[in-house]
Structure 1
Amino acid sequence: MAENEGGLVKNGHEDAMKLALSLLEEFGLPLGLLPLAGVIEVGFVRSTGYMWIVQTKKVEHNFKMIDKLVSYDTEIHGYVEKNRIKKLKGVKTRELLLWPPVNDITVDEPPTGKIHFKSLAGVTKTFPVEAFAAGQ
């Protein structure tokens, strides 16, 4: 069975971003976490939490408050649950000269104002949640 089977799918940047933002909001994640452009499709399978995003080109975004450059691939996917995205693929963050992939994002529960990004290498970086608010 395909991971995206039975999923809710929205096409076109405006509708797709509405779905992506509503999922971030529903699962307690900051709304500025996905500063995407030219989104073609966003899908979500409620039964498994699997979410995918397809955009026309890679997007690099600098989160000014924490001075972090983040790269978003043309295809991003992972599993969304309360305060967390796990098994994330397609998101990388700039660390010195490397671009380690981020594969787990967690917001503290109960809220402490902190969000944690974990790479496959097991390195965890913690930042203030407000650095990823909408408009950042």
Structure 2
Amino acid sequence: MNILQKICIGYFVALMIAASLNYIPGLTDENGLAFGIFALDIFDDSLHVVSALWALASGLISSRAARTFLILFGAAYLGDGIFGFFTGWGYLDLGIFTNESLGMSFTLPRILANLPHLALGGFALWSGLRLGRG
């Protein structure tokens, strides 16, 4: 198992943790916000579980599958995080279609709400492009 495959297994674990946040007592506030920052719903949970299973399968199949996952997943999640600054919603969970735009904002809550997708997507894309060479 090479480094890209190991990173995919790490993504499997991270994404399953993300999918479980709503179900761990004490992590959501009275408004249903995880860590008091962002709300996760069934669409988000489904997205995280499907992404996690994709990461697991990719990590177990081959180096090429792992690289493909990291590049595609990375681009999609990084784009979703960036898009969140412009509308307040992401496109991966269809939030842009079900909610009115909140407009562009670089406030701390908006940054913190988009940081997980920016970090996960950015690192995945970087890993797939830089570590996957050769």
Q: TM-score range by the shorter chain?
A: under 0.3
- Which structure has the highest helix share of the two? 2
Q: Say which structure, 1 or 2, has more relative contact order (CA 8 Å, 6+ apart).
A: 2
- Which structure has the highest strand share of the two? 1
Q: What TM-score do you get using the length of structure 1 for normalisation?
A: 0.25
